[in-house]
């Protein structure tokens, strides 16, 4: 049997790979990483060090044209958003499926995805999405752990966790600028990486002009109605609040629900969406 760990670059990838290697051995295990060309530079440092700690090499796959999510949106003429993100399909699922088709036989290959015991509702869609390959989810099985415990275990073997976690991001994906992340993620990005936010804001404006439509990555649900919320509008809203309260250190800590929806963290579905 061949065992393929779908390696996203998050802590759960490492925890999953560690389990699979302990269970089946390194010789029959492969770590498969799909590069979106939009990753935080520290993700690549983490990938190198975490794979080395496991005694493995990573196999990197990517879109044939080495596009990033913004280039995919332009080509598809569709702005990715919290509900539909073609970037995940084009940059992660398709390159991985191509590699699996060329290098494995579904009859003797098992895939492993790092969703944990809090996300078991995703399992049926993941299984049907990756068919005909069999998919397993070791982190949904006992002993149940959470990210904090895996961070401690990674530190215990000398691994410095990816910096996006230390900077307050829930996921180590696409440099903290995942289109599936909600308002809270984008407010964090504006705070921590304003240049990345500015690039995303420009790209969103470009897409709106290209499509001639009032489209946006985010949605505003205040007042009981749902309407588009552009990154420019969100930034201006945050900046106004900072002028009113110059001592405000973090919007998220201050929890100003009149400015952003702090519960709207969203989540990345790469690898866990249907392939
Ligand atoms: S992490 Fe988010 S932005 Fe990046 S490819 Fe996946 S869905 Fe798209």
For 214-238, the DSSP string reads ---SEEE-GGG--EEE-HHHHHHHH
Q: Is residue 183 part of a domain?
A: no
Q: Is residue 230 part of a domain?
A: no
Query: What are the percentages of helix, strand and coil residues in the chain, rounded to 5?
Result: 50, 10, 40
Q: Is residue 238 part of a domain?
A: no
Q: How confident is the model at residue 263 (pLDDT cuts 50, 70, 90)?
A: low
CA 19 remoteness from chain centre:
21
Q: What is the mean pLDDT of residues 106-135?
A: 95
Q: How confident is the model at residue 274 (pLDDT cuts 50, 70, 90)?
A: very low
| 261: pLDDT strictly greater than 80 | no
CB of 170 shorter than 6 A to ligand 1: no
Atom of ligand 1 nearest to the CA of 179: 3
Q: Is residue 266 part of a domain?
A: no
What is the Å distance from ligand 1's center to 173 Cα? 7
CB of 36 shorter than 6 A to ligand 1: yes
138-147 confidence digits (pLDDT tens): 999 999 999 9
Rounded to whole angstroms, the Cα distance separating 234 from 70 reads 19
What dihedral angle (degrees, nearest 10) is formed by the CA atoms of 7, 173, 12, 192?
A: 150
List CB contacts of 7: < 8 A, sequence separation 6 or more. Answer: 13, 17, 31, 32, 33, 47, 58
Q: Report the pLDDT value the prediction gives residue 275, as an integer from 0 to 100.
A: 35
| Token pair for 213 | 């439509």
Atom of ligand 1 nearest to the CA of 80: 8
Contact 197, 188 (CB under 8 A): no
Q: Is residue 196 part of a domain?
A: no
Q: Is residue 31 part of a domain?
A: yes
Residue 8, judged by CB atoms within 10 A of its CB (0-12, 13-18, 19+), counts as buried
| 267: pLDDT strictly greater than 80 | no
Q: Is residue 218 part of a domain?
A: no
Q: Is residue 63 part of a domain?
A: yes
Range in 50-54, 89-93, 110-114, 255-259 with the lowest mean pLDDT: 255-259
Q: What is the mean pLDDT of residues 18-32?
A: 98
Q: What angle do CA 173, 177, 183 make, to 5 degrees?
A: 120
What is the Å distance from ligand 1's center to 267 Cα? 9
By residue range, what is the domain housing residue 122? Answer: 2-68+83-168
Atom of ligand 1 nearest to the CA of 270: 6
Q: What is the CATH number of the domain that holds 91?
A: 3.40.50.620
| Token pair for 22 | 């302990």
What is the Å distance from ligand 1's center to 8 Cα? 11
32-71 confidence digits (pLDDT tens): 999 999 999 999 999 999 999 999 999 999 999 999 999 9
Rounded to whole angstroms, the Cα distance separating 261 from 253 reads 12
Rounded to whole angstroms, the Cα distance separating 54 from 51 reads 5
* Total Cβ atoms within 10 A of residue 180: 23
Rounded to whole angstroms, the Cα distance separating 43 from 177 reads 13
Rounded to whole angstroms, the Cα distance separating 270 from 77 reads 20
| Token pair for 264 | 């709207």
User: How many structural domains does the chain have?
Assistant: 1
């Amino acid at each position: 049997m061949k065992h393929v760990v779908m390696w996203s670059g998050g802590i759960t990838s490492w925890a999953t790979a560690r389990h699979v290697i302990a269970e089946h051995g390194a010789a029959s295990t492969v770590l498969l990483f799909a590069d979106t060309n939009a990753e935080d530079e520290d993700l690549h440092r983490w990938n190198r060090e975490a794979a080395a700690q496991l005694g493995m090499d990573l196999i990197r796959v990517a879109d044939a044209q080495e596009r990033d999510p913004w280039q995919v949106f332009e080509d598809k003429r569709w702005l990715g958003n919290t509900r539909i993100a073609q970037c995940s399909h084009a940059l992660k699922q398709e390159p991985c499926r191509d590699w699996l088709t060329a290098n494995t036989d579904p009859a003797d290959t098992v895939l492993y995805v790092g969703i944990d015991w809090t996300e078991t509702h995703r399992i049926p869609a993941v299984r049907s999405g990756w068919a005909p390959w069999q998919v397993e989810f070791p982190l949904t099985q006992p002993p149940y752990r959470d990210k904090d415990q895996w961070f401690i275990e990674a530190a215990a073997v000398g691994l410095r966790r990816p910096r996006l976690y230390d900077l307050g991001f829930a996921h180590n994906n696409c440099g903290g600028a995942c289109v599936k992340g909600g308002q809270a993620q984008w407010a964090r990005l504006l705070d921590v990486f304003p240049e990345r936010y500015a690039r995303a804001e420009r790209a969103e404006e470009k897409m709106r002009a290209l499509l001639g439509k009032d489209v946006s990555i985010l949605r505003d649900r205040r007042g009981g109605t749902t309407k588009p919320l552009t990154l420019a509008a969100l930034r201006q809203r945050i900046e106004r609040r900072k002028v009113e309260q110059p001592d405000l250190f973090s919007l998220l800590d201050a929890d100003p629900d009149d400015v952003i929806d702090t519960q709207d963290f969203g989540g990345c579905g790469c690898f866990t969406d249907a392939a």
